[in-house]
Amino acid sequence: MFGRSLYAVFAVAALSLTATACGGQAAASNASIVDKAKNDKKLVIGVKADQPGLGLRTPDGSFTGFDIEVAKYVAKQLGVEPSGITFKETVSANREAFIEQGQVDMVVATYSITDARKQKVSFAGPYFVAGQDLLVRADDAALTGPEALNGKKLCSVAGSTPAQKVKTEYAKEAQLQEERTYSSCVDRVLGGQLDALTTDNVILAGYAAQHPGKLKVVGKPFSTEKYGIGLKKDDTAGRKAINDALEKMFADGSWTKALQASVGASGFAVPQAPQLERY
């Protein structure tokens, strides 16, 4: 009798272990980034690949820039070393989808926190505040700000907040060409087919620095872009852990150091760290 009940106990224990294992696997896509990082010691992080100073793929295939430094710092706080990170290129239009489909665990890609995006993903941050501006050819004396957009041919990127702003607020004045990436816009402005690229000033500063004497940032920001780290919509624990990591990065000087080293090189004035908006 004793033998049998002991067997029964083991059998039940084994069953529940199996159930836990299966349940764990089935629920893996819904698991918090905190658990994933802790258990796997690996993360897939969506970043930009063509934005100098922010997220740039170098010829050897590695990534550099401020977003990359932020991603590495946060990953480390979650228990993932740089060797455990796979950076995956995202463009402006596929960031929500990549997070929703689980193609990436988080996105650190000049990604503005907006109410519309919050319907699909959630955000930690902000870890930087930028503003929409204009990049024009260095010899362009006419395009001096958003008030001078009349009849101009503008370039921006599909799925970005600056493209959306042009469509809703400047549709009457300007003609908008939407590209997949900002670097293709840069080529079109340099080539003279289009008059200006519009997106965040900090992104434009990187391109202007890449083409000295050929391109300049107008310097009259006309929006507020709060950069957040995007993650699964319902991952409250993940959002809190990432916010804690950002708070630490602001406080220990790593944030300013990373910003100076990456974005400061383009002449962009390094600001104070922003206030986190925990929700």
Stretch of residues binding ligand GLU (CB under 6 A), selected from 77-85, 158-166, 205-213, 238-246: 158-166
Q: Residue 201, interface with ligand GLU (CB under 6 A)?
A: no
Residue identified by tokens 């050897």 is: 60
Q: Residue 69, interface with ligand GLU (CB under 6 A)?
A: no
Q: Please work out the total of residues on this chain that contact ligand GLU, with binding judged by CB under 6 A.
A: 12
Stretch of residues binding ligand GLU (CB under 6 A), selected from 3-11, 107-115, 142-150, 229-237: 107-115
Q: Residue 162, interface with ligand GLU (CB under 6 A)?
A: yes
Q: Residue 96, interface with ligand GLU (CB under 6 A)?
A: no
Binding test (CB under 6 A) with ligand GLU, winner from 50, 69, 195, 200: 200
Q: Residue 223, interface with ligand GLU (CB under 6 A)?
A: no
Write down the least CB distance from residue 7 to ligand GLU, Å.
60
Binding test (CB under 6 A) with ligand GLU, winner from 157, 242, 246, 259: 157
Write down the least CB distance from residue 23 to ligand GLU, Å.
36
Write down the least CB distance from residue 196 to ligand GLU, Å.
15
Q: Are 101 and 110 in contact (CB under 8 A)?
A: no
Q: Residue 161, interface with ligand GLU (CB under 6 A)?
A: yes
Write down the least CB distance from residue 160 to ligand GLU, Å.
3
Burial of 190 (C-beta count, 10 Å sphere; 0-12/13-18/19+): middle
Question: Which sign does the torsion angle of CA 256, 260, 263, 264 carry?
Answer: positive
Q: Residue 225, interface with ligand GLU (CB under 6 A)?
A: yes
Core vs surface per residue 89-116: b (16+ CB within 10 A) or e: bbbbebbbebbeeeebbbbbbbbbbeee
Q: At what angle do helices 66-77 and 236-251 cross, to 10 degrees?
A: 110
Write down the least CB distance from residue 102 to ligand GLU, Å.
21
Contacts with ligand GLU by CB under 6 A lie at 92, 109-112, 157, 160-162, 199-200, 225
